[in-house]
């Protein structure tokens, strides 16, 4: 970059800085949007089941049945409702009043004494697969707890057919928020990054300043560099703000190093900003730019990153598409750095993928930009 080019870029960057400072919309996108979304999602979205309505049918009450069902009453995961017959309970489930049914047959007390054990009917509303799996797991936990307690009481521990010892790795407190927040940061920052560059360039088109800018000795490289640098700084500011919220507001542990996190975040931010620049090659007004940013960054990141929906069960081409979703790699890195530490086997390949995506997006944006109106 020679002296004249450096002066042009510096002039443009200074202009960008003044605009950011005086027109708070960019600051709002970089700091306010992530803070609000993280706060909203962090508190509002949780994969933990709390007080799930559960139907309990005891066909013939007895001491054994009472001690078993008491486990559900005590559990903080369930809000049990009693029904007199299986049909009543099934109707309640069809009406969406309960998410599952635990059904003790009339012969529960008798069968429990036999070697085959007592059958416990468990019916789960499978409409919401996530909740269904949770309910299933919690019912098993209650059952296992009850068996263990009963065995301990009777001193027959060795005779028990089952020995369940649940162990949870990486998220010992089984707090799904700790798992969700790092993913949310990636999700939110992918939107923020794309919006920052796409919106400010669309704004220049809308106000006609881009047209005037283009009829000067400025080159496309000057314009792209001058957009990238200030908004990279702004985006990283938003990123650190989000990490701060995760650690200090939600209490998510940060087990890895800040240095690794910053480096990977920088790669990710370049990819997100590159995506925004790519959007700006086709979007000439802020509305279209905003819509495109949502559709091409946030939604794929939500659906195709493996964060919410398991990608292993999707068709091959969907998995193939998911490889260009930058958030996918960053989510893996963030979850590792937050919950497990600097696991290089996770960080290195994902960071390499981020670097590659950033390079591709930026190169594409450069190749598709024209210093012309057509």
Partner 1 sequence: MTAETDGAALRLDRVCRRFSAGGREIAAVEEVSAVVAQGGITGLIGADGAGKTTLMRLIAGLLRPDRGAIEVLGIDVRRDPLAVQGRIGYMPQRFGLYEELTVRENLDLYADLHGVAPAARAARYAGLMAMTGLEPFTARRAGRLSGGMKQKLGLACTLVQPPRLLLLDEPTVGVDPVSRRELWEIIDRLTTDEGVTVLFSTAYLDEAARCRDVLLLHEGRLLAQGKPARFTAPMAGRTFRVAAPESGRRRLQARLAAAPGVIDTVIEGRFVRVVSEAAPWTPPPGIEAVAVAPRFEDGFVDELLRLRGGAATPSATSPAPPTPPPEPAKTVIAVERLTRRFGDFTAVDAVSFEVRRGEIFGLLGANGAGKSTTFRMLCGLLPASGGRLDVAGYDLRRARAAARGRIGYMAQKFSLYGDLTVAQNLAFFASAYGLRGGRRAARIGWALAEFGLGGMREAAARDLALGYRQRLALAAALMHAPDILFLDEPTSGVDPLARREFWRRIGALAEDGVTVLVTTHFMEEAEYCDRLVIMAQGRILAEGTPGEIRAGAADAARPDPTMEDAFVAVIGAASGAVAAETVA
Which parts of this chain interact with partner 1 (CB under 8 A)? 4, 7-8, 10-12, 14-15, 18-19, 22-23, 207-209, 211-219, 371-374
Minimum Å distance from CB 223 to partner 1?
Answer: 10
Minimum Å distance from CB 220 to partner 1?
Answer: 10
Minimum Å distance from CB 199 to partner 1?
Answer: 15
Smaller CB distance to partner 1: residue 131 or 369? 369
Smaller CB distance to partner 1: residue 182 or 230? 230
CA pair distance 117, 129, nearest whole angstrom: 29
Smaller CB distance to partner 1: residue 24 or 126? 24
Give the end-to-end CA distance of the chain in Å, rounded to a whole number: 28
Task: Name the DSSP letter for residue 367.
Answer: H
Smaller CB distance to partner 1: residue 4 or 40? 4
Q: Largest Cα–Cα distance in the chain?
A: 92
* Under 8 Å between Cβ of 273 and 232: yes
Q: How many CA atoms lie within 13 A of 163 on its CB side?
A: 5
Backbone CA torsion sign across 273, 275, 280, 281: positive
* Under 8 Å between Cβ of 357 and 301: no
User: Residue 118: which of 100, 138, 102 has the closest Cα?
Assistant: 102
Smaller CB distance to partner 1: residue 91 or 219? 219
**Sequence-separated (6 or more) residues with CB below 8 Å from residue 276:** 193, 194, 195, 196, 197, 198, 199, 201, 231, 293
Smaller CB distance to partner 1: residue 234 or 332? 234
Smaller CB distance to partner 1: residue 161 or 217? 217
Minimum Å distance from CB 295 to partner 1?
Answer: 25
Minimum Å distance from CB 33 to partner 1?
Answer: 20
Minimum Å distance from CB 34 to partner 1?
Answer: 23
Minimum Å distance from CB 11 to partner 1?
Answer: 3
Smaller CB distance to partner 1: residue 17 or 355? 17
Minimum Å distance from CB 371 to partner 1?
Answer: 7
H or E segment and range at residue 101 = strand 100-104
Minimum Å distance from CB 213 to partner 1?
Answer: 7
Helix 286-293 vs helix 258-280: angle between axes, to the nearest 10 degrees? Answer: 130
CA pair distance 61, 145, nearest whole angstrom: 20
User: Residue 189: which of 305, 324, 330 has the closest Cα?
Assistant: 330
Smaller CB distance to partner 1: residue 60 or 207? 207
Beta-strand relationship, 100-104 and 120-124: antiparallel
- Unique residue bearing structure tokens 């950011």: 20
């Amino acid at each position: 970059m020679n002296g004249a080019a450096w002066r042009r870029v510096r002039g443009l960057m200074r202009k960008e800085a003044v605009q950011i400072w005086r027109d708070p919309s960019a600051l709002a996108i970089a700091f306010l949007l992530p803070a609000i979304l993280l706060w909203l999602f962090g508190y509002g979205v949780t994969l933990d089941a709390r007080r799930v309505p559960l139907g309990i049918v005891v066909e013939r009450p007895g001491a054994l049945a009472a001690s078993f069902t008491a486990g559900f009453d005590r559990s903080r995961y369930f809000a049990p409702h009693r029904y007199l017959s299986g049909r009543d309970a099934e109707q309640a489930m069809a009406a969406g009043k309960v998410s599952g049914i635990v059904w003790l047959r009339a012969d529960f007390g008798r069968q429990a004494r036999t070697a085959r054990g007592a059958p416990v009917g468990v019916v789960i509303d499978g409409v919401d697969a996530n909740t269904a799996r949770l309910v299933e797991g919690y019912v098993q936990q209650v059952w296992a707890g009850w068996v263990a307690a009963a065995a301990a009481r009777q001193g027959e521990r060795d005779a028990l057919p089952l020995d369940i010892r649940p162990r949870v790795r990486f998220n010992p407190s089984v707090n799904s928020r700790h798992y969700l927040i790092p993913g949310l940061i990636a999700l939110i920052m992918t939107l923020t990054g794309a919006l920052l560059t796409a919106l400010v360039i669309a704004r220049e088109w809308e106000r006609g300043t881009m047209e005037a800018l283009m009829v000067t000795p400025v080159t496309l490289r000057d314009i792209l560099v001058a957009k990238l640098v200030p908004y990279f700084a702004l985006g990283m500011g938003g990123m650190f703000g989000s990490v701060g919220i995760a650690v200090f507001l939600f209490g998510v542990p940060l087990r890895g190093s800040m240095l690794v996190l910053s480096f990977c975040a920088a790669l990710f931010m370049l990819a997100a900003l590159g995506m925004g620049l790519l959007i700006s090659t086709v979007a000439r007004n802020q509305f279209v730019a905003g819509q495109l940013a949502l559709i091409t960054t946030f939604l794929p990141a939500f659906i195709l990153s493996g964060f919410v929906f398991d990608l292993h069960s999707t068709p091959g081409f969907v998995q193939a598409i998911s490889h260009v979703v930058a958030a996918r790699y960053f989510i893996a890195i963030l979850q590792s750095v937050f919950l497990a530490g600097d696991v290089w086997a996770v960080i290195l390949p994902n960071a390499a993928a981020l670097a590659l995506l950033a390079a591709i997006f930026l190169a594409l944006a450069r190749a598709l930009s024209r210093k012309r109106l057509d």
